[in-house]
Amino acid sequence: MRQTVDEAAIAAAVHRAEARTSGQIVCVLAKRSCDGHGQDALYAGVLAMLTPWPLLAATHWSAQAIFTLQLAIFVIALAVLHFTPLGATLASRAEKRRQAFRSATEQFFARGVGRTESRAGVLIFVSLAERYARILPDEGLAEKISEDEWREVVALLTDRLRAGQVTEAFVAAIDRCGALLERAAPGSGGDNELPDGLIQLDK
C-alpha cells in the first residue's frame, strides 16, 4: 500500500530549516531500493542443482533429459527472480541494506548534494520496502558535526517510520538537521541551490 505523504509539509520544513543556515537539505523517499538481482543466479542455481535428485530416485529418465530439464529450470527461475518482485523478497537483509545504501549514495551525487557552494549539503534518504533510513552529509561537515549527532537524526527517522508516520519522520529529521547546520554552517539562507520538495522514487 502506498504511503500517504504530505509533500507540502516536508517542503515547508526544508524551507524553514534552510532559512537559518547556508546549508542545503535534500529529501528522497524511495518505494523500494533492492531489486534482488545480486542473488538471482545463486537461488536459481541452487534450485537447478536440487532438481536431479528426486528424478534419479523416482524416474528412469536419461542423464541428457535430466540435464535439459535442469537447464530449463535454471533459466526459468532466473527469469522469474529477475523480472518479478520475488527476487527482492528473497534477498537477505544484508543485501537489501547494501542496495539501499548504494541507492542513497547515487542520489547524493545525482542531486548535487556534495556540490553546494557552502559544502554543507545533507541528504535525508528513506527506502520504505527495506525500512532503511540514512543521512549523508557533505564532507565539509565531517569535522563540525559528529557521527553520533547524525545517528540521532537517523533514530528520529526510524522511530517515526516504524509507526508509519512518514511525513512526521521527515519533518523531525529536517528540523534536527536544520539545527545542526545552523551551528556548523551559519548564514541567512542565501541562494536556494537545491530543491526543497520531496523527491519520490517509484522503483
* Cβ atoms < 10 Å from Cβ of 150: 20
pLDDT computed for residue 1 by the predictor: 37
- What are the pLDDT digits (tens) for 40-56? 777 778 888 888 878 77
What the block records as the C-alpha cell of 153 is 537524526
Would the pLDDT of 5 be above 90?
Answer: yes
Contact 17, 184 (CB under 8 A): no
The CATH number corresponding to 7-34+92-201 among 3.10.580.10, 3.30.70.20, 3.40.50.720, 3.10.310.50 equals 3.10.310.50
* Chain centroid, CA 149 distance in Å: 21
Residue 2: which of 125, 196, 162, 166 has the closest Cα? 166
pLDDT computed for residue 97 by the predictor: 86
Mean pLDDT of the chain: 87
Which strands make up the sheet holding 199-201, listed edge to edge?
132-137, 121-127, 24-30, 199-201
At 110, the pLDDT band (50, 70, 90 cuts) reads: very high
pLDDT computed for residue 125 by the predictor: 98
Mean pLDDT to the nearest integer, 191-202: 91
Annotated domain spans of the chain = 7-34+92-201, 37-90
Would the pLDDT of 114 be above 80?
Answer: yes
> How long a stretch of residues is the chain?
203
